[in-house]
Amino acid sequence: MQNDKRNTKRSEQFVSLTELFSFVTAIAVLQSFRRFGVLRFCPVRKPVRLCLAGSFLINCTYHLKRLFIMQIEPRTVVSLAYELRVDEEGGEPELVEKVESSQPLVFLYGIGNMLEKFEQNIQGLKQGDDFTFSLKPDEGYGEFDEEAVVRLPINIFEVDGKVDSEMLKEGNVLPMMDQDGNQMQGRVLEIADDSVLMDFNHPLAGMNMHFSGKVVGIREATLEELSHRHVHGPGGVHH
């Protein structure tokens, strides 16, 4: 893992240096053409000059954008460090999640993997920018649904006629499946002799969420990442 991080950092540094070198080279070559009159004796020098000047301008603009003004937008891979707090009744917001810059959240922006309002609040930010925003329940994981709290017969948790007491504990989150084959996550609230009370709400349902953090990195997504709809490499999926 440490080697992956070092390699990624070196790769990012190499890309930045390569882009800077390309930008400086483009300017230097254009200035050389102007200084030494390379195209002076070319019979089609004016069209060629225009084409070269246009090409260099596009190249310079691209590298300037990559170096100085790349921002969070669709088709970018974003790395974030942040803290998430939720409101507690009659008290200060409680810290429920902290993501360090050494192991940031890495995701492909704009394909629906994150909450829509979350992405809207960080759109347009650049590397190094700080952010602070809050999401209401209807912008996050919805209101708490009492009907999602259900009592199930304990025998459905049996394996070979026995209940795994290490698995079935109050507070544990268990992967389950409904009658239509949809995967669900349920939290064990209470265990009785013949039944188990389960909560299938999202853990953050009904809560106001407060995010604060920093944009650690931004890069363009590869064609493969866009095709697979997820990030590859450190912080993403390894194939």
Q: What is the pLDDT of residues 137-150, one digit of tens each?
A: 999 999 999 999 99
Q: What is the pLDDT of residues 182-232, one digit of tens each?
A: 899 999 999 999 999 999 999 999 999 999 999 999 999 999 999 999 999
The reported pLDDT for the residue numbered 215 is 98
Residue with tokens 């309002």: 117
Q: Which DSSP letter does residue 237 get? A: B
The reported pLDDT for the residue numbered 52 is 56
**Whether 81 contacts 214, CB under 8 Å:** yes
The reported pLDDT for the residue numbered 179 is 83
Q: What is the pLDDT of residues 71-126, one digit of tens each?
A: 999 999 999 999 999 998 777 899 999 999 999 999 999 999 999 999 999 999 99
The whole-angstrom separation of Cα 94 and Cα 105 is: 20
Q: What is the pLDDT of residues 14-52, one digit of tens each?
A: 444 555 555 566 566 556 555 655 555 555 455 655 565
The reported pLDDT for the residue numbered 128 is 96
pTM of the model: 0.69
Q: CA angle, corner 7, sides to 82 and 127, nearest 5?
A: 35
Distances, alpha carbon 28 to alpha carbons 47, 75, 216, in Å: 20, 31, 32
Distances, alpha carbon 17 to alpha carbons 10, 24, 26, 32, 192, in Å: 10, 11, 14, 22, 63
**Whether 171 contacts 103, CB under 8 Å:** no
The whole-angstrom separation of Cα 188 and Cα 174 is: 8
User: H-type helices in the chain, by residue range?
Assistant: 2-36, 45-64, 116-122, 223-228
**Dihedral sign for Cα atoms in the order 200, 204, 205, 206:** positive
Confidence category of residue 158, pLDDT binned at 50, 70, 90: confident
The reported pLDDT for the residue numbered 163 is 87
Closest residue by Cα to residue 149 from 191, 206, 200, 207: 200
